[in-house]
Structure 1
Amino acid sequence: MHGDSVPDSYVYVTEEGVTRHYADGSVDALAWEDVVEVRVAGDTASDILFILLDRDGQSCVVPESATDTAFLARLRYLPDFDLDRLGAAVEAARDDYVVVWRSPEPPTALSDFEYD
């Protein structure tokens, strides 16, 4: 008897954010409003990875194989996001990463940092 194979992970994209669920039960999630950087990287399994980061360095890694039009359409709504730059980065993806977008807004001040 052959059963359906269980995917390593699956990704939900909503208007609020991106969530990746792994087979081991762990979850990575980021709200769109918290995303400050988007990277593209190649991996050893020849899949392209989209890496979303927030100001604290938390990330949500989305494999291209788990994306759909909703994910790519939502990226377009990031301020000044360049789809041509994304396409070029995907074409040139290697084992390293390429930053394809950074938030144009300056980072917020650290609450416990004392200014002179």
Structure 2
Amino acid sequence: MNPTTYEGAFAELPPPGYHVISRLEPAGAAPLSIDVIKLPVLERRGRELVCEYENLTDDIHDELAVALIIDVILGEFTDHYYRDQVDTISFINQQTLTRRTMPYPR
């Protein structure tokens, strides 16, 4: 995984909106942005950050999704906004209902 080939964003439509991770693919003069992970839920609940996500492409497995969410959304996009607010992150794959809880990276 090369985090520089991915970018995070927030899509406001449809309401209430969601976070998304896109992969930048070479396409002539400007890169083409392909959405690979959708995060309809990213919210603090007490000292836990709940992150529900959906893989939008077949080449994203749970370990890669978690790594991208940590690097691209929590690191780059939100600039570690939640670092001092939570102790743990619960990652929930909406398709498989797989849940993984881990300490928030410091």
TM-score by structure 1 length? Answer: 0.27
Tell me which protein shows more strand as a share of its residues: 2
